[in-house]
């Protein structure tokens, strides 16, 4: 039987054990993978700052980012088009190593202004006849060359600019070296542009997936909580074979891919077992 003194010493020992464990846990640093998302705006170049360590990073064209954090650190998300948001690293976020952040548009309210230069009645059919609006003049209407060529994304244009031309050109009496292309290749800029183009294509695939299957449908079918579906899609985007979905010929192929990845998502512990 323990004496009061022994009991007191044992309690003191347990106190120090738990205190030290807590301290070590808070000092541990992990790499947190995350994704910033918004319904209406671009998610590229959102600034994320760890207010505790002062380290920072920015999101890529998909809104994805990676940053080092400790338990109870505070992350601040800022961009001109969004309201600033701060998130504390809770035990749940720390253990899952995954964070999905919804940002709210930074709407600037202006005073209402009413302009009626043509004495409009408010009745669309009458106003159109009175205004005699001419058809829009576009390159397609004018029949200009290349009018129907598909527009390239910013990433694709940057890649063409970085990787244009051949490395060397031989002429009759001279050799011309494409230093622009070589420097872009050596500095890694060309590879970064290729990565951005690939991410843009993956983002288009993700949009198609969300358009085809609702989050509720995926949640119920794959047994993944609906609030975890964004994290699941982020997990799919990180897979090396995700871009292969662009070659899928039917909806069934895409569904089977998602079903297979949902198993891996749960096996890797992104969802806590009840």
Q: How far is CA 174 from CA 78, 167, 168, 177, 181, in A?
A: 52, 14, 11, 10, 19
Q: Are 61 and 204 in contact (CB under 8 A)?
A: no
Q: How far apart are CA 162 and CA 261, in angstroms?
A: 35
Cα first-last separation, the chain: 39
Give the tens place of pLDDT for each residue, 26-35.
Answer: 579 999 999 9
In the chain, the percentage of residues whose pLDDT exceeds 70 is: 64
pLDDT score recorded for residue 24: 44
Distance CA 97, CA 145 (A): 51
Locate all alpha helices (DSSP H) within the chain, ordered by sequence: 4-27, 91-96, 124-131, 139-142, 154-162, 179-187, 189-212, 215-222, 229-237, 251-267
* pLDDT of 68 over the 90 cut: yes
pLDDT in tens, 101-128: 999 888 765 556 555 555 666 665 666 6
Q: Which part of the chain has CATH 2.60.40.10?
A: 28-102
pLDDT confidence tier of residue 20, bands split at 50, 70 and 90: very low
Computed over every residue of the chain, the mean pLDDT equals 77
CATH number of 28-102: 2.60.40.10
**Nearest alpha carbon to residue 153 among 240, 62, 231, 78:** 62
Give the sign of the dihedral formed by CA 210, CA 211, CA 212, CA 213: positive
Question: How does pLDDT run across 5-15, given as a tens digit for each residue?
Answer: 666 565 565 55
pLDDT tens-digit readout, 192-234? 878 777 777 777 877 888 888 888 888 888 999 988 888 888 8
- Rounded to 5 degrees, φ, ψ at 85 are -135, 140
């Amino acid at each position: 039987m323990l004496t009061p003194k022994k009991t007191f010493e044992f309690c003191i020992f347990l106190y120090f054990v738990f205190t030290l464990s807590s301290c070590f846990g808070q000092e541990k640093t992990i790499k947190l993978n995350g994704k910033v998302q918004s319904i209406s705006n671009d998610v590229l170049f959102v600034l994320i700052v760890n207010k505790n360590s002062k380290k920072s990073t920015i999101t890529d064209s998909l809104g994805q980012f990676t940053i080092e954090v400790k338990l109870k650190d505070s992350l601040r998300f800022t961009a001109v088009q969004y309201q600033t948001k701060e998130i504390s690293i809770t035990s749940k976020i720390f253990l899952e190593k995954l964070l999905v952040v919804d940002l709210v548009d930074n709407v600037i309210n202006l005073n209402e202004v009413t302009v009626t230069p043509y004495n409009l009645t408010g009745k669309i059919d009458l106003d159109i006849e009175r205004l005699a609006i001419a058809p829009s003049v576009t390159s397609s209407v004018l029949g200009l060359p290349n009018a129907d060529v598909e527009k390239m994304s910013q990433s694709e244009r940057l890649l063409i600019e970085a990787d244009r031309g051949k490395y060397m050109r031989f002429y009759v009496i001279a050799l011309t070296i494409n230093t622009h292309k070589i420097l872009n290749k050596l500095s890694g800029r060309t590879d970064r542009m290729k990565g951005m183009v690939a991410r843009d294509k993956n983002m288009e695939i993700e949009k198609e997936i969300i358009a085809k299957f609702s989050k509720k449908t995926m949640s119920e079918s794959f047994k993944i909580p609906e609030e975890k579906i964004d994290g699941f899609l982020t997990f799919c985007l990180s897979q090396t074979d995700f871009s292969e979905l662009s070659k899928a010929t039917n909806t069934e192929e895409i569904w089977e891919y998602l079903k297979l990845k949902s198993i891996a998502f749960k096996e890797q512990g992104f969802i806590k077992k009840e």
